[in-house]
């Protein structure tokens, strides 16, 4: 089986490629980087996918800076919408299945309970809107799969954990939002979950996150606890912490469907965080 992974040197894409190489050596992996294609060149992107003739395309490449998407709508549209459209077209022409990595930010956060796969999407920021469009294009392809996850962190690229530790180095008090709740999710665990979904020929929409929920404030406190950092962390509201893009206050995703497929949940987010920081 030939697998194409876009964004192969990105944060999650690089971890996914590593996971495939370690756990599925029988798969023929083609990792595509920005040197192989440009998502802002739709024709070129489609042609690259088509020429490889893959069985599955896993599209991880994206503009993931949520505030950046809000302030530069044009670039976000070119990369996250038109780029995803080009990848989907390449998969279609190659007769390949497509796996699209989406986000909890396709929801508005107004629901009191965790979101299930069939809940109505209603993004409240531009990044979430681009991911919603990507989902729609992916689901038009027969046998394809949308993976929604949340609050990703891992070895490569920037993330909340790295940001908190860098801020702590300044020794000044840190303010962190306490009214947005979700599930921090570790790259290697998500990669393993996606491989299980592919092995089970899963189609449609699937939520995969580490188990348990917390606020960004809780997340920060746990980071410093594990690292033994003595720093004052003050909880604030979303309204107090101004940012260009609004965030949903409830980002919790119900992973019941994944549990049925895999037979067990991903590890608790605290265990995942400790594994990451220990590494």
Cα(73)–Cα(267) distance, rounded to whole angstroms? 36
Q: Apex CA 92: angle with CA 89 and CA 97, to 5°?
A: 120
Quote the distance between the C-alpha of residue 160 and its chain's center. Answer: 13
CB 223 within 8 A of CB 164: yes
Cα(232)–Cα(204) distance, rounded to whole angstroms? 44
- Which helix (H) or strand (E) segment is 23 a member of? helix 11-23
Half-sphere exposure of 219 (CA within 13 A, CB side): 32
Collapsing DSSP to helix, strand or coil, 230 comes out as coil
CB 222 within 8 A of CB 273: yes
Catalytic residue among 37, 105, 126, 127: 127
- DSSP symbol at 264: S
Half-sphere exposure of 52 (CA within 13 A, CB side): 27
Cα(10)–Cα(29) distance, rounded to whole angstroms? 16
241 catalytic per annotation: no
Question: CA gyration radius for the chain?
Answer: 18
Collapsing DSSP to helix, strand or coil, 28 comes out as strand
CB 184 within 8 A of CB 208: no
Q: Which residues are catalytic?
A: 127
């Amino acid at each position: 089986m030939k697998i194409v992974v876009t964004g192969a040197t990105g944060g999650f894409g690089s971890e996914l490629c590593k996971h495939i190489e370690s756990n599925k050596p029988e798969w023929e992996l083609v990792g595509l980087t920005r040197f192989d294609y440009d998502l802002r060149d739709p024709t070129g992107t489609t042609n690259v996918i088509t020429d490889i003739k893959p069985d599955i395309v896993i599209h991880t490449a994206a503009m993931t800076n949520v505030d950046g998407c809000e302030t530069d709508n044009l670039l976000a549209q070119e990369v996250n919408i038109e780029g995803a459209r080009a990848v989907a077209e390449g998969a279609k022409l190659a007769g390949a299945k497509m796996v699209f990595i989406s986000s909890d930010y396709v929801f508005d956060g107004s629901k009191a309970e965790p979101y299930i796969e069939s809940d109505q999407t209603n993004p409240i920021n531009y990044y979430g809107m681009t991911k919603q469009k990507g989902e729609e294009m992916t689901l038009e392809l027969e046998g394809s799969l949308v993976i929604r996850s949340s609050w990703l962190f891992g070895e490569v690229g920037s993330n909340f954990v790295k940001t908190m530790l860098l801020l702590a180095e300044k020794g000044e008090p840190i303010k962190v939002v306490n009214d947005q709740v979700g599930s921090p999710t570790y790259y290697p665990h998500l990669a393993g979950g996606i491989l299980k979904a592919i092995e089970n020929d899963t189609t449609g929409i699937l939520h995969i996150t580490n188990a348990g929920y917390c606020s960004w404030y809780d997340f920060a406190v746990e980071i410093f606890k594990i690292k033994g950092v003595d720093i004052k962390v003050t909880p604030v509201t979303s309204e107090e912490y101004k940012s260009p893009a609004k965030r949903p206050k409830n980002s919790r995703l119900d992973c019941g469907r994944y549990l049925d497929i895999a037979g067990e949940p991903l590890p608790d987010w605290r265990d995942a965080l400790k594994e990451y920081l220990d590494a």
